[in-house]
Amino acid sequence: MGVSGINGQSFATEPETALGQDFTSLVIQSMGPNTDPRLRHVISSFIQHIHDFARDVRLTTDEWMLGVQMINRAGQMSSDKRNEGQLMCDVIGLESLVDAITYEEAVKAHRPLTASAILGPFWRSDTPTRPNGSTITFDTATDAVVAYMYGEVTSADTGLPLANAVVDVWQCSTNGLYEQQDPAQREHNLRGKFVTDSNGKYSFYCIRPTPYPVPDDGPAGHLLSLMDRHAYRPAHIHLIVEAAKHKPVTTQIFDAESKYLDDDSVFAVKEALKVNFVPRQGDPEAKFELQYNVSLAVDPKA
């Protein structure tokens, strides 16, 4: 690099050649011998890709700082009720990609498995257990349509029903808000855990889900608008199903008649997860019903 002297100071006369692969190798090799092997593999690849990305797009300092500020803002907005970092990953498809990789590994060993889908930021660890046949919809919104959901949990390897499996479900109200986002809803509205009976069966009343936008008042929403995209998700119900000696599945089921199935803002729709609500006969409590059976993989480590 050429250097010229002015008043005793040195200035570069031409820009430094953008740092190349030797620099990237130096950063990767700076890890010490005590780094966990899997962590070393993941971090090495991450550094390699993020350096290549910066070189590829010729990332400027100002652009990089905008990204840093977005990540910082996501952290500042996050709490036990909101996970903005996860939402940012969701709108760029990362959580769905990771889910697909994880599912691909699982089906190598077990079939037929219920397809998984992303957790999303609105699950709660303290959801109450409710009796089968009861409801998760309280103070039901006037525009909501009640549905009866029921099904069986079985073991993927034997096909046998699993008693005492836990079916944890959550959904948002017709105003597009989960109860923790909405002071007008009572706590734990539209969520519940159901334990399967001796025949592996569960059942409950819920509402037929409606499409809603993911929260767009933070950096994830900003990113969506920068990319000229909408925030909507198709109508869905979330589930986590777990049973002793089996691997739990986190998933979502999508109303096959919903809008936004082809342009979910978080890319979670899978063909296998589309379901059909059908009219329910002889039950004044519910207009529709949905049967959804779940098949869990045996956990070889259990």
Q: For residue 199, with 0-12 CB atoms within 10 Å meaning exposed, 13-18 middle and 19 or more buried, which class applies? A: exposed
Candidates 5-13, 64-72, 115-123, 143-151: pick the segment binding ligand BEZ (CB under 6 A). Answer: 115-123
Candidates 116-124, 149-157, 181-189, 283-291: pick the segment binding ligand BEZ (CB under 6 A). Answer: 116-124
**Contact (CB, 8 A) for 190 and 206:** yes
Closer of 86 and 155 to ligand BEZ (Cβ): 86
Measured CA to CA, the distance from residue 247 to residue 108 in angstroms comes to 14
In the bound state, the residue with its beta carbon closest to ligand BEZ is 120
Binding of ligand BEZ by 120 (CB under 6 A): yes
Closer of 27 and 92 to ligand BEZ (Cβ): 92
Closer of 121 and 218 to ligand BEZ (Cβ): 121
Q: How many residues bind ligand BEZ (CB under 6 A)?
A: 9
C-alpha triplet 245, 252, 94: angle, nearest 5°? 95
Q: Please, what's the b/e burial string for 210-245 (b: 16 or more CB within 10 A of its CB; e: otherwise)?
A: bbbebbbebbbbebbeeeeeebbbbbbbbbbbbbee
- Least distance from ligand BEZ to the Cβ atom of residue 173, Å: 12
Region of 181 please: left (phi>0), alpha (psi -120 to 50) or beta.
alpha
Tell me the C-alpha to C-alpha distance, in Å, between residue 224 and each of 50, 54, 115, 232: 21, 21, 27, 11
Near ligand BEZ by CB under 6 A: residue from 51, 110, 208, 233: 233
- Least distance from ligand BEZ to the Cβ atom of residue 90, Å: 4
Q: Which residues 68-97 are close enough to bind ligand BEZ by CB under 6 A? A: 87, 90
**HSE-up of 61 (CA within 13 Å, CB side)?**
0
Residue 113, SS3 per DSSP = coil
Binding of ligand BEZ by 266 (CB under 6 A): yes
- Lookup: tokens for 124: 């709660």
x/- letters, 165..204, toward ligand BEZ (CB under 6 A)? ----------------------------------------
Near ligand BEZ by CB under 6 A: residue from 153, 214, 273, 294: 214
Binding of ligand BEZ by 218 (CB under 6 A): no
Where on the chain is the footprint of ligand BEZ (CB under 6 A)? 87, 90, 118, 120-122, 214, 233, 266
